[in-house]
Homo-oligomer: A and B are copies of this chain.
Amino acid sequence: MGEKIVIIGGVAAGPKTACHAKRLMPDAEITIIDQDSLISYGGCGIPYYVSGDVSDEDELRKTSFHMTRNEDFFLRAKGVTVRTLTRAVAINRQEKTVAVEHVQSGDKDAVPYDKLVIATGSQPFVLPIPGADLDGVYTISDLHKAIDIKGRLATGKVGKAVVIGGGAIGLEMAEAFTDLWGVETSVVEFMPQLLPRIVDPWFATMLEKHMSAMGVQIHTGEGASEIVADENGRACKVVTPKRTIETDIVIMATGVRPRSQLASDAGLIVSPFGIVVNDRLQTSDPNIYAAGDCIEITHMVSGQKFMAPLGSLANREGRIVGDNLAGIATTYPGAMGSFIMKAFERCIGATGLSLESARAAGFDADAAITAPSDRAHFFPTEAKIPLQLVFDRRTRRVLGVQGFGPMNDAVLARIDAAAALIAKKGTIDDFSLCEMAYAPPFATALDALNTAANVADNMQMNRQRNVSIPDFMAWMDDFSSQPDWRALDIRHPSEVKPFKEKYGETWLEMVYDSVRANYRELPTDKTLIIICDAGTRSYEIQVFLDAMGIGNTLVLGGGFNVISRLEPEWWPAK
């Protein structure tokens, strides 16, 4: 037999490494060790299993050709030995053995290796608050917990739920509870927005408004401070600084931490983001590789280290480790956290850095926000997809893209193309010229992503000056915050009318195609916030007014197509 390869962890990176390595080295002796009885399941599918979209937990464990990925399958089909219910207790790097213990019998053993792969994943972070360990409080950490949750839902005794944490998993669980089970669900998020660090606040707000409209109670800027038990010791209330929410079940989805203790105990270099690896995914011991949620990742845009617990990355990394075990020197450039999420009838996606993250990382970053059509505006299924391109003013490099749209693959297409270009250090010009496939049922002649890049070009060349969305929203809430501002609404008079009636003198009207003739009527002692539906016409008017010597204007980027998704309550009844 060939080399002995031992892999600790059997969910995503581990099995991928094992199978790819076995194909490259058919005579290698490969063993996966996992403390669980269930292995190689699609953990990202848990919310869809809970919702009922996926009827049986076994579906998450099956291949696309309907075989269940259990120990027997790995042995028969893949030639890989799996030892389940087996906990790796310690790594002895001198002897090159892993000390293991059977979870049920307590039997101990030492498994020898030539090469070791650590794929121990992540563990949920549990808030250190009173009641966090009560019955009825769940993390979404493994399939057993998911089965428990669904079992509890199926009893019909769950009328209310609280999700602690407004990240992707928390929100997917909130949708699952609300949409299929009709559970009255609340989300509490400590940070002032949903999806913190993933999207900018205005994209989080679009998501929040939609989820609220679909019936989820969302409380941002409000951490859970306590979980209260009923007389039976079951969680029945979640307390925040602002309120107490009654509940029948609590989902603790407050992030994960790398499971790196085993590596750390073995003297491997470990950071707060996970096990430190080189670009061949070797740890500080060249005979030990690591992959998946447990490793520290380099961000491809910022160059900073971070943690990226994504099943998609775990699989890529597993393949890279397999290559390197077989002597193929494939390298891993890092990741940038490409992200997409279904939320009822909408989806939200992002890749690269948000504006806030980009500025925090030291870029001279700005954001071009637009609200283009996802397909030809005359095509029946057309929808607006607010799309934001974050770029570096110094270098014109594109740093990130965010999108929000209907629940189909339109946003996905733009995020995927953006991720491809960002990985190759694409600039605004690359995005402007990127040859997105075009036909009216699928795109506009200049694709939404091209349009966003053209807006960025206009901004970077100092032809377009935007009002920031937070500033605009603050002003709409209280005009006295900027007493010298006036709205210059260039839409159709019928669209402008209710705003004029509601906001009076502050709301000026001059329809787009009349500005060239009538601009002299505009006040020159005010700052004009030019407003249209998508921001495009406003830019044209700004450029024209600049040429006419009226320079005190700002464009509302993305226009009312964005704002109406942020503050629907501002909308005067039509």
Contacts and interface: CB of A to CB of B under 8 A. Distances in A.
B437 A419 contact: yes
Contacts of A533: 64-65
B65 A27 contact: no
Interface stretch (A131-139, A267-275, A510-518): A510-518
B433 A412 contact: no
Contact of A437 (B333, B351, B492, B513): B351
Contacts of A492: 65-66
A157 interface: no
Given A65-B532, A447-B312, A513-B77, A436 B424 contact: no
A335 B433 CA distance: 9
Contacts of A188: none
A60 interface: yes
B423 A435 contact: yes
Contacts of A337: 435
A48 interface: yes
Given A27-B547, A540-B23, A423 B416 contact: no
B378 A59 contact: yes
Interface in A494-524: 512-514, 516-517
A76 interface: yes
A347 B375 CA distance: 15
Contacts of A73: 513
A62 interface: yes
A407 to B, nearest CB: 8
Nearest to A351: B437
A306 B332 CA distance: 37
A313 B450 CA distance: 11
A420 interface: yes
Nearest to A311: B445
B516 A443 contact: no
A558 B13 CA distance: 25
A167 interface: no
A114 interface: no
Interface string A422-457: 011010011011111111111101110110001000
Interface stretch (A117-125, A230-238, A338-346, A465-473): A338-346
A557 interface: no
Interface stretch (A101-109, A145-153, A280-288, A314-322): A314-322
Interface in A531-567: 532-534, 537, 539-540, 543-544, 546-547
Contacts of A347: 441-442
A351 B435 contact: yes
Contact of A316 (B62, B342, B433): B433
Nearest to A407: B441
Contacts of A65: 491-492, 512, 532-533, 537
Interface in A6-27: 12, 19, 23-24, 26-27
A330 B534 CA distance: 25
Contacts of A78: 540
Contact of A419 (B24, B342, B417, B539): B417
Nearest to A414: B416
Given A376-B45, A379-B54, A543 B435 contact: no
Interface in A28-65: 42, 44-45, 48, 53-54, 59-60, 62-65
A446 B312 contact: yes
A395 interface: no
A263 interface: no
Given A54-B379, A67-B513, A547-B26, A419 B445 contact: no
Given A314-B445, A543-B23, A338 B42 contact: no
Contacts of A64: 373, 377, 533-534
In this complex, the member of A59, A407, A421, A449 whose beta carbon has the largest number of chain B beta carbons within 10 angstroms is A421
In this complex, the member of A412, A512, A514 whose beta carbon has the largest number of chain B beta carbons within 10 angstroms is A412
Contacts of A3: none
A280 to B, nearest CB: 13
B44 A463 contact: no
A513 B76 contact: yes
27 contacts: A23-B540, A27-B547, A44-B376, A67-B513, A77-B512, A79-B516, A79-B544, A172-B439, A310-B438, A311-B438, A311-B445, A312-B438, A312-B447, A313-B435, A316-B446, A336-B435, A339-B437, A340-B438, A351-B435, A351-B437, A412-B442, A413-B416, A416-B437, A420-B420, A421-B421, A421-B424, A424-B426
Given A42-B440, A63-B377, A338-B437, 17 more contacts: A44-B439, A45-B440, A48-B379, A48-B440, A59-B378, A64-B377, A65-B491, A65-B537, A312-B435, A333-B433, A338-B438, A349-B437, A409-B409, A409-B410, A412-B443, A417-B420, A423-B430
Q: Which 10 A-B pairs have the closest CB atoms?
A: A26-B547, A409-B409, A312-B438, A77-B513, A340-B437, A420-B420, A413-B413, A424-B424, A416-B417, A64-B377
